[in-house]
Amino acid sequence: MGGCHLVSRHWPVPLLWGSPSRIKPYNTTLVSLGTTLIWLRWFRFNGGSALNASVRAMLAAFNTNTTAYMGVIGGVLVDYIKPRGKFSIVGGCGGAITGLVGIMPAAGFISVWLTTIIGTLIGFLTSIWLHIDEGIDIFKLHGIGGMGGFLT
């Protein structure tokens, strides 16, 4: 999903409304609502992937939640450190989604202390590292988060 969006975004099509810095393509209420719904569904998906009530299912659900909120902390810290000096709901929601994508392959197999490191690093790096002109950060959240999850 992330790679397809990156290719389609860099297709030679001009922006319709000029500079991307003047346009904010998101509504913070809808972004936070969508992130909450995604977080709840992802929590069920990773916990239910074991197909039984076992310790591995509990560990997967706990690691999913831990990585998501550590991704929120990483994303919000980057928005605060940047020159604006303000916290951002959109940055926190992006960090949560990146953390969820990053922990997906390893949710039931790693310990909790490693999950906190993964969530913070993935949320921090995707917020500060990439400066790709795309409207809703699909490649940044899904592509880079997926690559980070692949490496774990």
- Pick the closest to residue 99 from 132, 130, 133, 64 (CA basis): 64
Query: What pLDDT does 16 receive?
Result: 47
**Nearest-angstrom CA–CA distance, 14 and 80:** 31
Angstrom distances, CA of residue 111 to CA of 55, 60, 105, 116: 12, 10, 13, 9
If we measure between CA atoms, which residue out of 56, 38, 43 comes closest to residue 104?
43
30-47 pLDDT, tens digit per residue, is: 989 999 999 999 888 888
Q: CA 144 to CA 140: how far, in whole Å?
A: 5
- DSSP designation for 143: I
CA 129 – CA 60 distance, rounded (Å):
28
pTM for this entry: 0.79
Report in angstroms the alpha-carbon separations of 122 from 12, 22, 51, 141: 30, 27, 28, 9
% of the chain residues with pLDDT over 70: 78
